[in-house]
């Protein structure tokens, strides 16, 4: 089990790091990125994400993709915006490695068990993954989404999957920083 990632199966996620708790100004920044189209927020969040990650020795950066309908509704993918900003910050290529063939619906109101069920087979690789991948998303809650993405990347050949998120929901998490 990865510390801070309750639903990540052992071995799928090498390490998971989040820049901020999902509260206050950080939560507002993610919401502006996600729902108000403030794409420039991604650059600031990416800088913070990289700073908490420690040394990053990765071949590529990729992201947790939105479902087609949600992407059409929003007009852009906030996780992709974060991944591009992370890639620029650490000078690594940003490559789409995952596809979301099924719309899983919003995860925000679901508990851990429901999220794991909804995320089963939610992602498929679009190409072979290099050995070391950074997987970016906006918020880490239970870890079910990133675990599903990391599992697909492992099946596509990744040996290490480092998860970076802008924020981490502390609801139900331990009180450790």
Instruction: For 6-29, write each residue's pLDDT tens digit.
Output: 555 555 899 999 999 999 999 999
pLDDT number for residue 39: 86
Instruction: For 140-154, write each residue's pLDDT tens digit.
Output: 988 888 999 999 999
Give the torsion through C-alpha atoms of 101, 34, 63, 95, to 10 deg.
Answer: 100
Given a cut of 90, whether residue 177 has pLDDT beyond it is: no
CATH code for the structural domain at 19-168: 3.40.50.2020
Dihedrals phi, psi of 106, to nearest 5 degrees: -65, 140
pTM for this structure? 0.86
| Cα–Cα distance measured from residue 113 to residue 106, given in angstroms and rounded to the nearest whole number | 14
| Cα–Cα distance measured from residue 108 to residue 89, given in angstroms and rounded to the nearest whole number | 29
Instruction: For 104-161, write each residue's pLDDT tens digit.
Output: 665 556 555 566 666 677 899 999 999 999 999 999 988 888 999 999 999 999 999 9
């Amino acid at each position: 089990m990865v510390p801070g990632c309750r639903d990540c199966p052992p071995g799928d996620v090498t390490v998971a790091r989040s820049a901020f708790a999902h509260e206050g100004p950080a939560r507002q920044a993610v919401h502006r990125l996600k729902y108000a189209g403030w794409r420039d927020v991604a650059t600031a969040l990416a800088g913070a994400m990289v700073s908490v990650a420690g040394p990053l020795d990765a071949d590529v950066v990729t992201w947790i993709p939105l479902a087609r309908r949600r992407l059409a509704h929003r007009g852009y993918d906030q996780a992709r915006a974060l991944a591009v900003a992370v890639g620029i910050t650490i000078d690594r290529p940003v490559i789409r490695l995952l596809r979301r063939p099924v719309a899983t619906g919003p995860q925000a109101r679901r508990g851990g068990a429901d999220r794991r069920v909804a995320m089963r087979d939610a992602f498929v690789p679009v190409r072979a993954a290099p050995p070391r991948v950074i997987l970016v998303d906006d918020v880490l809650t239970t870890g079910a989404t990133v675990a599903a993405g990391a599992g697909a990347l492992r099946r596509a050949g990744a040996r290490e999957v480092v998860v970076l998120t802008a924020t981490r929901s502390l609801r139900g998490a331990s009180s450790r920083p």
